[in-house]
Structure 1
Amino acid sequence: MDSSGGPPLCFPSLNSSCRRLPLPRFETALLYILLASVSLLTVTLNLLVIISISHFRQLHTPTNTLLLSLAVSDLVVGLLVMPIEGLRYMETCWLLGRLMCALTPYVSYCLLSASLGNMVLISIDRYLAICDPLLYSSKITLNRVKILICLCWACSLLYNRLILMVHLGRLDRFSSCHGECVVVISHISGIVDLFFSFVGPCTAMVVLYMRVFVVAVSQVRVIRLQTVATAVIAAPTAKKSEWKAARTLGIVIAVFLMCFCPYYYPSLAGEDTSNSLSYFAVLSWIMLMNSCVNPLIYALFYPWFRKAIKLIFTLRILQPHSQEVKIL
């Protein structure tokens, strides 16, 4: 029992227990409300994407299958990772035991890696659709996309098993007392992870999206020349499409960089990456917020998604043959 008069123990029955650092009640209540709101929003948005793509047959396309995989990983982040990580930082104690201490970071890293992999696959899909439209339907089939998604998830499971090998092999290596779950990724492993999980995918996405943008701009110029030649006034529409393409690509790349770049600060600074760092919670939550923003970027810009939401909330999807509704 704690009789020292200091901060309460995480586990009062254990002499080796860590000290709890409780927050003021008002601050704790506010943080719990914020956590619940963010988690609920993340789950709701991604669940709407999953229901829409799964229910309406017209949406069963290779591109939307990639969006579905992305939404599944982001939904589990909002359902499991966000609440657990929030509980860790607000309670200032790890209360979920050794097994969850092993599984939680592994599952979290796998979901985030799978989400990132799906984003790269989406950029490749869009690149082929715009830059090689004649062969797109023969190259990108639904079965091939499903195989790529399975490979993406399998690689994520294997890769993060290697990155977290030290943590999974000895959970209490970096813990100083009972009630901690310290995850440490060495500087060398952090540098490897930086290139494989950030620099590589980021470079691929930027290069592919810039190529898509260049092709889109060239197509707009061709349309303008044809417009002048045929004396049809359609130039304003082409100009609007050009700006829309630039804006969408800018949002995709900027949000990705803003959410993932801060997480790799310890590796860039030459430090080990550890959840015991004073600023790690901020870096982690910025990255987790990408799972909430993803459905806004990849789905809310599509008119079919807004139409699907209307059909879902009005319960028209429960009507017979609602799967056949023309939603595009």
Structure 2
Amino acid sequence: MEPEVNVNRTDVTDIHPCYEIDHFKYILANTPSFICILLYIFLVLLSVVTICGNLLVIISIIYFKQLHTPTNYLILSLAVADLLVGIIVFPFSMAFSLSSCLYHEDLFCKIRGSFDISLSTCSILNLCCISIDRYYAVCQPLTYRTKINHHVVVIMILVSWGISVLIGIAVIIAGLNSEKCEERCLIDVLMANTIGPILSFYLPVIIMLCIYLKIFIVAQRQARSIQSTKSGPKVSKMERKATKSLSIVMGIFLMCWLPFFIFITFLPFSNDSVPVPVIETLNWLTLSNSMLNPFIYAFFYSWFRSAFRMIISGRIFQGDFANSKLL
């Protein structure tokens, strides 16, 4: 994601370990510092974990027929978006960092920004679709199979990817138009710092928060109704598990995304220069959510863990286990 920011050029070499100024261009240093090397090793590991984790989810859902459900197809779409973040956005962000593109925005920076915005938005919208699926599964279980079927899921996936591509294109067009302005154009600032964040983040987050709050309320009501026929400790355990799951899902998501979007939303109202490390840290924090999603939405389920063990051990190459019963 790329905000419109004010940065002090004279301080670049002092605050970023990997870049230097060359004829007013912000480029990678020929002799990177030790801190820069450690930083890139960490980012490469982050990219590898993101790719491997999402590949496990994708292979599991495609290979094992037990996982061919509408819910898992939404998780599959999310994993594909996060996989592309690991394959495309991570390398582009390391070669053409958000900081460097603030100083010298060339074609590769525009390509980087396009993939960054589109795939990040797609990841968020897929998370929103998963929350809608969970709402019907918990709050309207009797009509779940009729309202959330394969046809509906395909439409949800296509809409998520379509909106993401359109938002990415719109932001890039706004960036191209800004080159014709002597000063920052109002419409471009609104697109980058207001309209884009509202469509890409705030609206989906409000929807998810409302849905998960409704799910939590319904789950508590169901637990209380069961309490008359089951022991109190067992019901209490159910409530704690539901609360823990919802808290982890929304907590990690907001931890990764909320700081960055608050930053770019209120940035136009500040006249102070922005330290490069702040921009970089917030940007990489958002991208790290693509690494965490497989753990959040897959590792909670025992059948995914069984599928992962079979894939990692290589058992699926020793025979046909597509119809295996996953525990």
Please classify the TM superposition score into its range, dividing by the shorter chain length. 0.7 to 0.9
Pairs within 5 Å for 1:41-52: 41-52=49-60
Pairs within 5 Å for 1:125-164: 125-164=133-172
Using the TM superposition, give the Cα deviation of residue 253 of structure 1 relative to its aligned residue in structure 2, in angstroms: 1.3
Q: Report what 2:313 is aligned to.
A: 314
Within 2, Cα distance between the matches of 1:173 and 1:194? 22
Q: Report what 1:178 is aligned to.
A: none
8 A Cα contact 2:174 2:191, kept in partner: no
1:90–1:255: structure 2 CA closer, same or farther, 3 Å change rule?
A: closer
Are 1:18 and 2:19 counterparts? Answer: no
Q: Report what 1:252 is aligned to.
A: 249
Q: Which amino acid aligns with 2:148?
A: I
1:220–1:133: structure 2 CA closer, same or farther, 3 Å change rule?
A: same
Within 2, Cα distance between the matches of 1:21 and 1:63? 43
Using the TM superposition, give the Cα deviation of residue 36 of structure 1 relative to its aligned residue in structure 2, in angstroms: 1.0
8 A Cα contact 1:109 1:160, kept in partner: yes
Q: Report what 1:240 is aligned to.
A: 237
**Greater gyration radius:** 1
Pairs within 5 Å for 1:173-212: 186-187=189-190, 189-212=192-215
Deviations 1:234-267 (A, max 9, x none): 4323211110110111111111211111112132
Q: Report what 2:96 is aligned to.
A: 88
The structure 1 residue matched to 2:264, chosen from 263, 266, 269, is 266
Pairs within 5 Å for 1:34-45: 34-45=42-53
Deviations 1:175-223 (A, max 9, x none): xxxxxxxxx9514541122322222111111110011111111111111
Within 2, Cα distance between the matches of 1:212 and 1:118? 18
The structure 2 residue matched to 1:109, chosen from 117, 130, 149, is 117
Within 2, Cα distance between the matches of 1:38 and 1:78? 8
Using the TM superposition, give the Cα deviation of residue 287 of structure 1 relative to its aligned residue in structure 2, in angstroms: 0.7
8 A Cα contact 2:126 2:157, kept in partner: yes
| Larger deviation, residues 81-90 vs 122-131 | 81-90
Q: Report what 1:294 is aligned to.
A: 293
Are 1:66 and 2:77 counterparts? Answer: no
Give the number of equivalent residue pairs: 302
Deviations 1:5-62 (A, max 9, x none): xx8x9898xxx56254737532122112111111001111111111111110110000
Q: Which amino acid aligns with 2:193?
A: G
Deviations 1:251-292 (A, max 9, x none): 1111121111111213224359xxx86232112111111111
Within 1, Cα distance between the matches of 2:180 and 2:280? 20
Deviations 1:55-87 (A, max 9, x none): 101100000000000001111111111122122
Q: Which amino acid aligns with 1:221?
A: R
The structure 2 residue matched to 1:76, chosen from 61, 72, 84, is 84
The structure 2 residue matched to 1:222, chosen from 222, 225, 242, is 225
| Larger deviation, residues 240-249 vs 184-193 | 184-193
| Alignment root-mean-square deviation, CA | 3.1
Is there any run of 5+ residues in structure 1 with no aligned partner, and where? 1-6, 175-183, 228-233
Is there any run of 5+ residues in structure 2 with no aligned partner, and where? 1-12, 14-18
Within 1, Cα distance between the matches of 2:288 and 2:26? 29
Using the TM superposition, give the Cα deviation of residue 159 of structure 1 relative to its aligned residue in structure 2, in angstroms: 2.0
Within 2, Cα distance between the matches of 1:266 and 1:93? 16
